[in-house]
Structure 1
Amino acid sequence: MSTQHIDPLGSVADVVASESRPSAGPIAILPEAEQRFADAVEAGGGTVAPLSDDTRGVVWLTSTGAAELKAVLDAHPAIEWVQLPWAGVDAFSDLLAGYAGSPRPLWTSAKGAYSEPVAEHAVALTLALLRGLPAKASATSWARTEVGISLYGLDVVIVGAGGIAVEIMRLLAPFRTRITVVRRSEAPLEGADRTVSSDRLSEVLPQADVVILAAASTTGTAKLIGAEQLAAMKPSAVLVNIARGALVDTDALVAALAAGEIDGAGLDVTDPEPLPDGHPLWHEPRCIITSHSADTKAMTRPLLAGRISVNVQAMLGDGRFVGVVDTEAGY
């Protein structure tokens, strides 16, 4: 299946323990089957069939309907593998928590699969903010003052160390930025100039020219960027969020932008989402909102199809799955 993007983690598989390895058997595509994904299952050597007592795997194609998926699993306890459609699994957090510690079903997500388009969007938002494009794009007369900062040589803090963060670093390499990665541990991430643990976030924010959020949404990352963190940033710094809206305290961001505590924000995701009409962020001249379009369906569908094929092969073969979800950690 051809696509303009590649899945950087497509060949980075987790060897699943034997007690968690699903049995081979028919796979159902739910809530509604789509031919592209049926073809992906068959390309992996699997068989697509309607949901029944014989079903061993489920490809779930919507980020909603967690209650519906739970009902499917409750009614068909022989299901041993579930493929979720997106990199983030926060929409299924309560459902996953109910299976924490259980060897089956095995859960996989698309984490890492959409790294290229999302990272591209993060860099696009960064450049737009630094160059003052929000105001320039809406201008109706010739500007009297020069506005714009170059990305070359700036200090960038990336919160998160997954596939998106790695791809952002790769795209930033030509700009000779100095990159600090904030992650759960201080284990060095290849490509970063510095790696620090998440409890040191406030320590690195004052030096950052750009802060990019690329972390999973969990109870531990809720409102990770709040009033205290925004106040710690430079007045010239910009914030980019291509992860989940819940990582940012929206009210604190509105206040920080209004007070000039930071210079701008680029948001592909918001809290709440969709952001209601009339919300102050829509009227903030230094804020770009792109309505969760970093990875459009046109970009993600081929990548998800490829991930499905790989995991079907794992189900039928040696159990080397990609994107295994830790039900206890919630991602």
Structure 2
Amino acid sequence: MSDTASAARGHRPVLTPSPVVAAEHRPSPGPVAVGPESADHIVEAIEAGGGTVSGIDDDTRGLVWLSHKAIDELDEVLTKHPSIEWVQLPMAGVDMFAPIFAKYADKPKPLWTSAKGAYSEPVAEHAVALTLALLRVFPKRVRATSWATEPEGISLYGANVVVVGAGGIGLEVLRLLAPFDVSITVVRRSTEPVPGAARTVASSSLADVLPDADVVIVAAAMTDDTSKMFGAHEFEIMKPTAVLVNIARGGLVDTDALVDALAAKGIWGAGLDVTSPEPLPDGHPLWSEPRALITPHQADTPDMVAPLLAERIRHNVAALGGDGEFIGVVDPAQGY
């Protein structure tokens, strides 16, 4: 394979615009640090954006934080260095940073940005893979040890699909599903129409659209309001031939209610790249449920993510020193 062909492969970086940053929230240009540990491709991205990479000190204005676990350490860094006015987080979903957000919810700085939208293509690709696998009863087929004689399977073509969430992943799901001539309903906070969707409804209308859904793909942010948005009632009103796919956060689904619905054949199947609890413990009923397909939170692998995060960082570093058009801005008061 030629170098040109090789370079053309991979996912597109998705740069979904965020609202314009108000003057009081806009960070001052200055050196950018990387923590808790650095990485060559991140340093290269900062420099490509016109930034200067430095250690964490009182001159630091931007901080690229590459861990979703060292949260206490991040809290300490920000407390010790109040001069940091912009923090770039590595995740699309940032609910794990909620304790820190709460401390800064009523403060104009630092400006927080996440990777939301950056990983849209690989995660949406995984969501469609899970959807097709469930409809074509792959969980049952891969467990089989003899030739099946009963015909089973549902086509995705012409299906009614409900996509919960209209962020980058949700929008990419719409794009990938277009060739299947599906009818898509988007459930989001507002009823502002989403291009590519047949209709858009508010989150409060979720129960109104579930009874007609053949496929439900969960791509919403995890907040106090969305926790366990799929519970016993939601599964009860879904078709017995409907499938649920969750590639967002495990806490959006009541796991016990899902286990019960699958055991009772209340829905056709569930594809989960995220679970609650996570990791899913050995021996959990979902592991042996023939209607469930579990993947270990790997819709986007490190190899897929690295160039996409690097491009997000390059863009936001350029915004720090230039036009201020940051992407992936997080509202600490809302948590996403």
Considering the TM-score relative to the shorter chain, is it more than 0.5? Answer: yes
CA contact (8 A) 1:3 1:302 kept: no
1:273 maps to what in 2? 278
1:137 maps to what in 2? 142
CA distance in 2, matches of 1:264, 1:57: 45
Deviations 1:128-186 (A, max 9, x none): 00001111122211111111111000100011011111100100001000100001111
Runs of 4+ more than 6 Å apart: none
1:58 equivalenced with 2:63 (yes/no): yes
Residue 55 of structure 1 aligns to which amino acid in structure 2? T
Deviations 1:13-62 (A, max 9, x none): 54312211111111111000111100000000111111111111110001
Q: 1:297 to 1:266 in 2, by over 3 A?
A: same
1:152 maps to what in 2? 157
Structure 2, unmatched stretches of 5+, are 1-6
1:7 maps to what in 2? 13
CA distance in 1, matches of 2:8, 2:301: 16
CA distance in 1, matches of 2:254, 2:42: 37
Deviations 1:44-90 (A, max 9, x none): 01111111111111100011122110100000010000000011110
CA contact (8 A) 1:246 1:270 kept: yes
> Post-superposition shift, 1:3?
6.2
Match of 1:309, SS state, is helix
1:290 maps to what in 2? 295
CA contact (8 A) 2:15 2:312 kept: no
Aligned pairs (5 A) from 1:152-301: 152-301=157-306
1:119 equivalenced with 2:124 (yes/no): yes
Match of 1:321, SS state, is coil
CA contact (8 A) 1:29 1:60 kept: yes
Residue 288 of structure 1 aligns to which amino acid in structure 2? L
CA distance in 1, matches of 2:111, 2:215: 37
Residue 57 of structure 2 aligns to which amino acid in structure 1? S
Match of 1:239, SS state, is strand
Residue 6 of structure 1 aligns to which amino acid in structure 2? R
1:32 maps to what in 2? 37
Aligned-residue sequence identity (percent) comes to: 63
CA contact (8 A) 1:246 1:271 kept: yes
CA distance in 1, matches of 2:273, 2:190: 26
Deviations 1:182-236 (A, max 9, x none): 0111111111001111111011100000010000000000000000001010011
1:19 equivalenced with 2:24 (yes/no): yes
Residue 105 of structure 1 aligns to which amino acid in structure 2? P
CA distance in 2, matches of 1:296, 1:329: 27
Residue 51 of structure 1 aligns to which amino acid in structure 2? I
CA distance in 2, matches of 1:204, 1:245: 21
Match of 1:19, SS state, is helix
Q: TM-score normalised to the size of structure 2?
A: 0.96
For residue 46 of structure 2, the aligned residue among 17, 36, 41 is 41
CA distance in 2, matches of 1:13, 1:91: 21
CA contact (8 A) 1:2 1:302 kept: no
CA contact (8 A) 2:136 2:154 kept: yes
2:3 maps to what in 1? none
1:80 equivalenced with 2:85 (yes/no): yes
Residue 310 of structure 2 aligns to which amino acid in structure 1? A
- Taking only aligned residues, the RMSD between alpha carbons, in angstroms, comes to 1.1
CA distance in 2, matches of 1:189, 1:327: 25
Q: 1:315 to 1:2 in 2, by over 3 A?
A: farther
> Post-superposition shift, 1:8?
2.2
> Post-superposition shift, 1:7?
2.0
